[in-house]
């Protein structure tokens, strides 16, 4: 997650704010997913230290009382959040609806934490190739795997915007995975705009319930953590619902 840490402070337990959420380990989850290299920090004198600029290591953490916004702060910033006490986060500025903070948790914080902390230690080798959907996509019947839409959207947005070498839906990724649960074989997964698919070829992996989903989730976490991005990713407006695949 890319944020801007603001120079305002929130008075803990004051009860002020538009809405609040409280979840076990919420502060830990937020701090785990922040990419400080691509985030911004506003210093006490009002200077913005933006993506790629050197930052003091002691500033790269959100403590109770700290305020922040998702993305790099601009004139279009529409939501400001504060770290309250007891694993509570308070929305103190918002023009996107009273349920927006809950959606931020469900659609960004929770799935991104699952991506960042997902166990992919069983993967021995993963390779990927960017290909053209019109000319290179398999012509056989394909099966869509049961993957979290929020998690996949976050992965895709980070990969697509942060790298710039693939553009969905014109392109797709052919990903080859080998590891503990692939029985020594290379499993090919096809990442398109909406989800991950595999050929419906009657392979052994399709016969074992949930196995391809497990491999796919490991691959998503591996790629999220191991493939670097080179530029900030813009957060999606929380009130917008992406059009799903027909």
pLDDT mean over 149-153? 96
Q: List phi, psi (to 5°) of 141.
A: -65, 140
151 within a domain of the structure (yes/no): yes
The last residue of one of the domains, among 117, 134, 151, is 117
State both tokens at 12: 């803990």
Higher pLDDT, 162 or 232: 162
pLDDT mean over 62-72? 95
**Predicted confidence (pLDDT) per residue in 170-205, tens digit:** 999 999 999 999 988 999 999 999 999 999 986 788
Judgement on whether residues 50 and 19 belong to the same structural domain of the protein: yes
25 within a domain of the structure (yes/no): yes
Q: Between helices 211-226 and 149-163, what is the axis angle to 10°?
A: 30
167 within a domain of the structure (yes/no): yes
Half-sphere exposure for 106 (CA within 13 Å, toward CB)? 8
Residue 24's domain comprises: 3-117
106 vs 227: CA distance, rounded Å: 24
Judgement on whether residues 112 and 135 belong to the same structural domain of the protein: no
Query: E strands, the chain, where?
Result: 3-9, 19-22, 40-42, 48-49, 66-70, 79-83, 88-94, 123-132, 142-144, 171-179, 187-191, 196-199
- How many folded domains does the chain comprise? 2
220 within a domain of the structure (yes/no): yes
18 vs 3: CA distance, rounded Å: 20
**Predicted confidence (pLDDT) per residue in 81-91, tens digit:** 999 999 999 99
Task: Evaluate if residue 109 carries a pLDDT over 50.
Answer: yes
Query: What is the reported pLDDT for 166?
Result: 85
Task: Evaluate if residue 127 carries a pLDDT over 50.
Answer: yes
Distances (CA, A) of 137 to 29, 140, 141: 37, 9, 11
Q: What is the pLDDT confidence band of residue 128, given thresholds at 50, 70 and 90?
A: very high
Task: Evaluate if residue 114 carries a pLDDT over 70.
Answer: yes
236 vs 240: CA distance, rounded Å: 7
Task: Evaluate if residue 237 carries a pLDDT over 80.
Answer: no
Helices (H), 170-240: 204-207, 211-226
232 within a domain of the structure (yes/no): no
161 within a domain of the structure (yes/no): yes
What SS3 state is found at 17?
coil
Judgement on whether residues 131 and 196 belong to the same structural domain of the protein: yes
Judgement on whether residues 102 and 13 belong to the same structural domain of the protein: yes
**End-to-end CA distance of the chain, in Å?**
29
The last residue of one of the domains, among 99, 117, 135, is 117
């Amino acid at each position: 997650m890319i944020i801007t840490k603001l120079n305002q402070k929130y008075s803990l337990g004051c009860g002020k704010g538009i809405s609040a959420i409280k979840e076990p380990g919420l502060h830990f989850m937020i701090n785990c997913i922040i990419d400080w290299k691509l985030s911004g920090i506003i210093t006490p004198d009002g200077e913005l230290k933006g993506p790629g600029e050197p930052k003091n290591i002691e500033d790269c953490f959100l403590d109770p009382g700290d305020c922040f916004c998702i993305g790099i702060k601009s004139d279009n910033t529409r939501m400001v959040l504060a770290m309250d006490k007891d694993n509570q986060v308070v929305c103190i500025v918002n023009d996107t609806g009273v349920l927006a903070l809950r959606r931020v948790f469900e659609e960004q914080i929770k799935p991104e934490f699952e991506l960042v902390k997902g166990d992919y230690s069983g993967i021995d080798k993963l390779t990927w190739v960017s290909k053209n959907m019109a000319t290179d996509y398999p012509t056989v019947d394909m099966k869509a795997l049961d993957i979290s839409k929020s998690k996949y959207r976050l992965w895709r947005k980070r990969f697509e915007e942060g790298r710039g070498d693939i553009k969905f839906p014109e392109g797709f990724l052919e990903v080859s995975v080998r590891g503990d649960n692939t029985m020594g074989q290379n499993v090919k997964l096809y990442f398109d705009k909406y989800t991950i698919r595999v050929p419906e070829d009657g392979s052994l992996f399709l016969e074992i319930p949930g196995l391809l989903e497990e491999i796919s989730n490991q691959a998503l976490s591996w790629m999220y953590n191991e493939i670097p991005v080179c530029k900030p990713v813009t957060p999606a407006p929380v009130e917008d619902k992406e059009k799903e695949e027909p």
